[in-house]
Amino acid sequence: MNSRRLLKLADFLDKLPPKRFDFSHWVGDDWGGAQDLSCGTTACAIGWCPTIPAFRRLGLRIVKVDGFPAVAFKGQKRLALSGNAITERAAMRLFDLTQEEVEFLFLPSTACQCADGLGATPKRVARHIREFVQRGGLPTERS
């Protein structure tokens, strides 16, 4: 795992206004094309990653896949993947995580124990990321 990058994201999330965070989608369907999300849309933790300068320098971008925003690395092969699969692969690469770890950290049902992301705040997700890093990965027993 790349704990330095994960903690950089957690620090960013701590400063993000809750009204701009929505854990139910990568980037809002109303995304206007601005890579910095200055269009006012909401995004989840992964959706905000391309706005972090260090991650943008690595080539992380918001792209449209089948008409919906997704997160990908510049030049990332799309093959026949959905936007969800492309975004999950970008998160795996960015943070050096397995798919299971990405799901644990960034999917609402595991990251905040809520099925649709309602009630998740950026600070709550930041805390979840820090606990993951401090523990050194996935919990040994998940209930």
Q: Taking residues 89-107, what's their average pLDDT?
A: 94
Residue-level pLDDT at 143 = 47
Percent of the chain with pLDDT over 70: 89
The rounded distance, in Å, linking the Cα atoms of 51 and 45 is 11
The answer to whether 111 and 105 have CB atoms below 8 angstroms apart is yes
